[in-house]
């Protein structure tokens, strides 16, 4: 869960804290106060330990909490203070039950006071931002049969890892679902052909067409998954240069020479001749292909998909903008924020029927970010949608 280097550093820090706290607990102090750096009465050795103790406690990202046998807090660091009660001036001298009502936390510290080390305790907060922690509590001092003199708990923030795990599981679930649908269709029609449908030329030709369409859909989905994985993993390197945008748009439109008329859609290149943008030509073509393809799918019959260009101000730092506009049905406002998420679809049934993988806009987003830019969307129901690629100037 944690890297070897960070774990070793943390263990060293905790060992130093434990040594200092054992000394304090054996002296019978009721609380631990941060040492005063200017206390000249301290010996050099004590001053060094105190300074190290204070610096370690203050700089740790992990929340650290120490209680005595009465379950009162005798030491804590800023990370723990932020975790438990930011509005409270201090945690020291507070009972653990006054800080939290979480039974998992209380039980872990109670076991540690009995001499039992606890680890792997998952703790969740339910404030404005949900956080997840992995809690480890160890006993301090004692050993005379009366239990520990205190307990030290370290809260590891694993919120990001939990979120990544949820994203991974959701991704795998979506991939499985997206692959299962065409695969089921392929197997069903192959079985039908095997059971005698080959004898009917008209039916067999139709079934083979369906099999080909579903196989193509699976192929496209796998390609998009591999592409998106490579981009998100940082394995895609840009080869940026000045690109003739007018010619590039012409080339992309030419690739839809059959598909656009089949949907009754016209493609219009509004980019002036000799306009150049600074980008990776192959990746920009990929972005435009996805956006134009998307515009064709969701335009009305007789509609238009127009590609235009708006220059940014070089002195003002404004980015160049490439706009892909359709005059389709538009997208409801509640969907716009999530439109670039993987596998997110406004109309799932329609998107699948048209061969969409649900990954095209996610790929566009990540490629735009890779250029140091972004992609945005504006839409109005009944009037169409505009996707805008924002590219920094060289």
Same domain, 202 and 261: no
pTM: 0.59
pLDDT digit string (tens) for the chain, length 394 residues: 444 444 444 444 555 555 455 444 444 444 444 444 444 445 555 555 556 656 666 667 788 888 888 888 888 888 888 777 666 667 777 888 888 888 888 888 988 888 888 888 888 876 667 788 888 998 887 666 667 888 888 888 888 887 777 777 777 777 777 788 888 888 888 888 888 777 788 888 888 888 888 888 888 888 888 888 888 778 888 899 999 999 999 999 999 989 999 989 999 999 999 899 999 999 999 999 999 998 998 888 889 999 999 998 766 668 999 999 998 888 888 888 888 887 777 665 555 555 566 788 989 999 999 999 999 999 988 888 999 999 998 7
Give the torsion through C-alpha atoms of 227, 228, 234, 235, to 10 deg.
Answer: -10
Same domain, 43 and 14: yes
Helix (H, G, I), strand (E, B) or coil at 118: strand
Report d(CA 301, CA 31) in Å as an integer. Answer: 77
Q: Do 367 and 287 contact (CB within 8 A), yes or no?
A: yes
Q: What are phi and psi of 316, to 5 degrees?
A: -80, -10
Same domain, 359 and 259: yes
Per-residue pLDDT at 289: 93
Q: What are phi and psi of 117, to 5 degrees?
A: -75, 135
Q: Do 277 and 242 contact (CB within 8 A), yes or no?
A: yes
User: Considering 105, 124, 157, which residue would you say is the last residue of a domain?
Assistant: 157
CATH code: domain of residue 191: 1.10.287.130
Same domain, 95 and 204: no
- Supply the Cα-derived Rg of the chain in whole angstroms: 31
Same domain, 195 and 299: no
Report d(CA 29, CA 68) in Å as an integer. Answer: 10
Residue 43, both tokens? 């010996």
Cα dist from 239 to 144, 168, 200, 335, 367, whole Å: 69, 30, 53, 33, 12
Same domain, 226 and 310: no
Q: What are phi and psi of 167, to 5 degrees?
A: -65, -40
Angle at 204 between CA 201 and CA 209, to 5 degrees: 125
The residue segments making up the domain with residue 200 are: 159-236
Per-residue pLDDT at 288: 95
Report d(CA 40, CA 194) in Å as an integer. Answer: 93
Helix (H, G, I), strand (E, B) or coil at 43: coil
Residue 243: name the closest of 210, 274, 200, 209 by CA: 274
Q: Do 371 and 280 contact (CB within 8 A), yes or no?
A: yes
Same domain, 30 and 165: no
CATH code: domain of residue 257: 3.30.565.10
Per-residue pLDDT at 31: 40
Same domain, 229 and 107: no
User: Considering 207, 236, 265, which residue would you say is the last residue of a domain?
Assistant: 236
Burial class for 65, CB neighbours closer than 10 Å (0-12, 13-18, 19+): buried
Same domain, 74 and 63: yes
User: Considering 157, 174, 202, which residue would you say is the last residue of a domain?
Assistant: 157
CATH code: domain of residue 49: 3.30.450.20
Q: Which residues pair with 136 in a beta bridge?
A: 154
Same domain, 129 and 249: no
Q: How many domains does the chain have?
A: 3
Q: Which residues pair with 154 in a beta bridge?
A: 64, 136
């Amino acid at each position: 869960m944690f890297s070897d280097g960070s774990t070793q550093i943390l263990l060293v820090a905790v060992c130093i804290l434990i040594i200092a706290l054992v000394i304090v607990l054996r002296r019978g102090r009721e609380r631990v106060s941060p040492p005063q750096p200017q206390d000249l009465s301290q010996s050099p050795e004590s001053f060094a330990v105190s300074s190290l103790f204070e610096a370690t406690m203050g700089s740790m990202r992990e929340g650290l909490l120490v209680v005595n046998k009465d379950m009162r807090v005798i030491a804590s660091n800023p990370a723990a203070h932020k975790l438990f009660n930011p509005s409270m001036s201090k945690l020291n001298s507070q009972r653990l039950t006054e800080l939290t009502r979480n039974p998992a936390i209380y039980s872990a510290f109670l076991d540690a006071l009995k001499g039992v080390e606890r680890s792997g305790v998952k703790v969740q907060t339910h404030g404005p931002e949900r956080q997840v922690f992995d809690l480890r509590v160890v006993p301090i001092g004692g050993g005379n049969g009366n239990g520990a003199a205190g307990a030290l708990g370290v809260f590891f923030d694993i919120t990001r890892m939990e979120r990544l795990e949820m994203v991974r599981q959701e991704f795998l679930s979506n991939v499985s679902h997206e692959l299962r649908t065409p695969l089921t269709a392929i197997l069903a029609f192959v079985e039908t052909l095997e059971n005698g449908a080959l004898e009917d030329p008209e039916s067999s030709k139709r079934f083979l067409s369906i099999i080909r369409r579903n196989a193509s859909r699976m192929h496209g989905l796998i390609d998009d998954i591999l592409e998106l994985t490579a981009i998100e993993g940082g394995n895609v390197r840009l080869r940026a240069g000045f690109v003739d945008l007018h010619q590039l748009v012409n080339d992309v439109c030419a690739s839809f020479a059959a598909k656009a008329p089949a949907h009754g859609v016209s493609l219009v290149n509004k980019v002036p001749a000799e306009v150049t943008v600074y980008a990776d030509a192959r990746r920009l073509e990929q972005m435009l292909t996805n956006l134009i393809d998307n515009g064709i799918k969701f335009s009305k019959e007789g509609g238009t998909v127009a590609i235009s260009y708006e220059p940014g101000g070089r002195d003002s730092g404004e980015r160049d903008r490439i706009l892909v506009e359709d005059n389709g049905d538009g997208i409801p406002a509640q969907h716009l924020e999530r439109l670039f998420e993987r596998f997110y679809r406004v109309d799932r049934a329609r998107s699948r029927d048209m061969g969409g993988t649900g990954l095209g806009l996610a790929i566009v987003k990540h490629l735009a970010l890779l250029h140091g830019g972004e992609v945005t969307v504006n839409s109005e129901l009944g009037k169409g949608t505009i996707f805008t690629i924002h590219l920094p100037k060289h």
